[in-house]
Structure 1
Amino acid sequence: MKLNPDCIRDILLYVELNSDLRHFISISPSNLPTELEKYSSDEVMYHIKQAELSSLIETPSWYLDGGCLIKYLLPEGHKFLADIREDTNWNKTKEIAKSAGSNSLDALKQIATGVVSAIIKSQLGL
């Protein structure tokens, strides 16, 4: 399956909004959250796995039906989400990734960091 950066972002936003140390998220292919319904169930579950493998989320349990329990964002997930939360930063990140010809999560994370760094330097007049 091709990586869909928008799906990853929407998953991270959903996890951040709906989880904490006492409240975990259970997502099943047959019962997707409304915020993720614009994607197919296979796409959502695949991207959750990619987020887990990339150390963006803590997913301790996978169910037999293909669903999972997500505990929370990991520090790398918080950092990446902080860099791409604003639509302007996210759109610029995707634009640069497209022109660079790379949509990997590692590339997106590096580009997002660069976009935010450039904004900070501009604000500081550097």
Structure 2
Amino acid sequence: MKINYDCIRDVLLSVRDQEEYGDLHSDFFTERLGDKYSFHELANAVSLILYEGLAVGDYPTGNMDGNYDYIIRFLTVSGDQFINSVKDDSVWSKAKEEVKNNPIQTLFSFAQIAVSFFR
């Protein structure tokens, strides 16, 4: 599945905007972002966020019926730095344009580019 950086940003913003830390299950993200992204896009975004160490939680797991659940518990320092650097729409647009011109392989690389535009 292609990496959807907009979905990743929206998931991270949703976590950051919570006033209290707690387990944020797949239903939380589906309710807030399900009109913009499919369940599979959200699950993929969460998997990448966890894999790259931007948040702590549980990877998407499912059963034979295709029902999946995943959890984000909290952002890591790296996740907080990333989302603080790309919360501004103009910075986000610049970072995405840079990625279009210079394809990258990892979310971590994208985060580094975004942080460089923020500074």
Question: How far off is 1:103 after superposition?
Answer: 6.1
Given that 2:91 and 2:117 are in contact with CA atoms closer than 8 Å, whether structure 1 keeps it comes out as yes
1:70 aligned counterpart, secondary structure: strand
State the match for 1:85 in structure 2.
87
State the match for 1:14 in structure 2.
14
Across the aligned residues of Structure 1 and Structure 2, the Cα RMSD in angstroms comes to 2.2
Given that 1:26 and 1:70 are in contact with CA atoms closer than 8 Å, whether structure 2 keeps it comes out as yes
The verdict on how the C-alpha distance between 1:91 and 1:24 changes in structure 2, with shifts beyond 3 A counting, is same
Q: In the alignment, residue 14 of structure 1 is paired with which amino acid?
A: S
Question: 1:97-116 alignment to 2 at 5 Å?
Answer: 97-102=99-104, 104-116=106-118
Question: How far off is 1:19 after superposition?
Answer: 5.9
The verdict on how the C-alpha distance between 1:70 and 1:96 changes in structure 2, with shifts beyond 3 A counting, is same
| Cα deviation 1:5-61 (Å, max 9, x = unaligned) | 00100000011112633x321114xx8122343111011011101100000111147
**TM-score scaled by structure 2?**
0.84
Given that 2:46 and 2:59 are in contact with CA atoms closer than 8 Å, whether structure 1 keeps it comes out as no
2:110 aligned counterpart, secondary structure: helix
**Total equivalences in the alignment:** 115
| Cα deviation 1:40-96 (Å, max 9, x = unaligned) | 101101110110000011114755431112211111100100110100100000011
- The reply to whether residue 25 of structure 1 matches residue 27 of structure 2 is no
Going by fraction, where is strand more abundant, 1 or 2? 2
1:38 aligned counterpart, secondary structure: coil
Runs (5+) with no aligned partner, structure 1: 118-126
Q: In the alignment, residue 25 of structure 2 is paired with which amino acid?
A: S
Q: In the alignment, residue 74 of structure 1 is paired with which amino acid?
A: T
Question: 1:32-71 alignment to 2 at 5 Å?
Answer: 32-60=30-58, 62-64=60-62, 65-71=67-73
